[in-house]
Amino acid sequence: MKGIVQARWTNRREMAFDVVLAGGLTFFGVIFSVTQEGYTGIISLGMLAPLLFRRTHTAQVFAVCSGTAVLQWLAGIDLMAGNVGLLVALYAIAVYGNQRQSRFALGVGMIGVLMAVSRYYTGSDWKQQFTMLLTFGAVVLGVWAIGERRRTRTLYVDQLEERAAQLERDRDREAKLAVSNERTRIAREIHDVVAHGLSIMIVQADGGLYAADANPDQAKKALATIGDTGRASLTEMRKMLGLLKADTQAELDPDQPRPQPGVSQLPELIENVRNAGLTVEFEIRGQARDLPALLGLTAYRIVQEGLTNTLKHAGPGAHTSVDLEYGREMLTVVVTDDGRGAAAATSNDPGHGLVGMRQRASISGGTVSAGPRAGGGYEVIARLPYELQVGGSQ
């Protein structure tokens, strides 16, 4: 039911606390009642023992304690130490009961105050009766108010936790959607790169098949094999892209290959970013070499995403550097800035850009690391090996 603190034992500590509380109060209540006449021990037991279940059966415990108090009142038994059980039961129903139960219990408590004063202070003057009425009433109201405040605070904390959990679930869904969209876009770009190359290979192989009349039959057979292999490779690539796209069902059109940017287009990209107001230094180290189309596209997209993040997060006056290093076995791409990008990106960006960069690098067999720099600013480092791509392209 909405508005109720969960009335159950959530761990062994709570259970142990309730056992100790109920057991201790029952023990001392019965011990103190031994000195009194009548059924005081039974009355104390009836008020204190049920407190063991004050958290799990709140309304029932309050009803039993209140009923026992009525029996005490009817039997004319004096107030005793066991009557503290009534206050504990009132506190429990204020904390663990719903609002209607809590207010009803407060009303019962106030009626109990009137009954107690009318029974046990009948021989006193009106001033003492009024004083005791105020005293007992203040105690009952105070205990109830403390319990009510505890219930309200607990419900507020529960709502905050639920809201935080919902935000986390929404964030996860958003991240998964971004990953799915990124995978779809990467799949389309891979298709364009591979389909373009394979289509050319198929056309050349088929052309060679008809132009090789002057060659031996074995040459024709080889050209036919090239064409068949190219077609089979294209079919397998489509299957692989279907797996890469996971749940998406977008149709890829192999007849409309689109040119994709590469490392050679980086100067144009950087110039556009400079025109947007960002200071960018561009440097190439090592011996430049021809890169496979997919590797060049991956490097371009990583630089593009890094510069975009800098524009969004680094703040005015930031300086950025883009370094490409052609190593023996891999291409290293480094994008750094000296702005406030580390704090801003962490607080405002759910990380979709970094997800995309890492997925692109992973497809090329590489890695991407990103994070704040020791001296301030932000840094993205991508390491893209040649071997995986060269093995399939050259």
Question: Is the pLDDT reported for residue 57 higher than 70?
Answer: yes
Query: Are 23 and 135 in the same domain?
Result: yes
pLDDT for the residue 379: 92
- Residue 370's domain comprises 263-393
C-beta atoms surrounding 369 within 10 Å: 13
More confident residue, 267 or 231: 267
Query: Are 132 and 158 in the same domain?
Result: yes
Most confident of 112-116, 178-182, 319-323, 385-389: 319-323
Residues 230 and 236: their CA atoms lie apart, in Å, by 10
Query: Are 159 and 180 in the same domain?
Result: no
pLDDT for the residue 367: 92
Query: Are 281 and 340 in the same domain?
Result: yes
| Average pLDDT over every residue of 226-249 | 58
User: Residue 7 domain-assigned?
Assistant: no
Query: Are 134 and 59 in the same domain?
Result: yes
Name the pLDDT band for 222 (thresholds 50, 70, 90): low
pLDDT for the residue 380: 94
Mean pLDDT estimate for the chain: 76
More confident residue, 48 or 131: 131
Query: Are 210 and 285 in the same domain?
Result: no
Residue that terminates a domain, selected from 165, 192, 227: 165
Name the pLDDT band for 392 (thresholds 50, 70, 90): very low
Give residue-wise pLDDT tens across range 4-34: 544 555 567 766 777 777 767 776 766 666 6
pLDDT for the residue 212: 66
Most confident of 136-140, 311-315, 343-347: 136-140
pLDDT for the residue 2: 46
Query: Are 120 and 16 in the same domain?
Result: yes
Helices (H), the chain: 12-33, 40-48, 58-75, 84-96, 99-120, 126-211, 217-244, 266-275, 293-313, 341-348, 352-363, 387-393
Residues 237 and 98: their CA atoms lie apart, in Å, by 62
The structure's pTM equals 0.43
User: Residue 386 domain-assigned?
Assistant: yes
Helix (H) or strand (E) holding 283: strand 279-286
pLDDT for the residue 145: 92
Task: Name the domain count of the chain.
Answer: 3
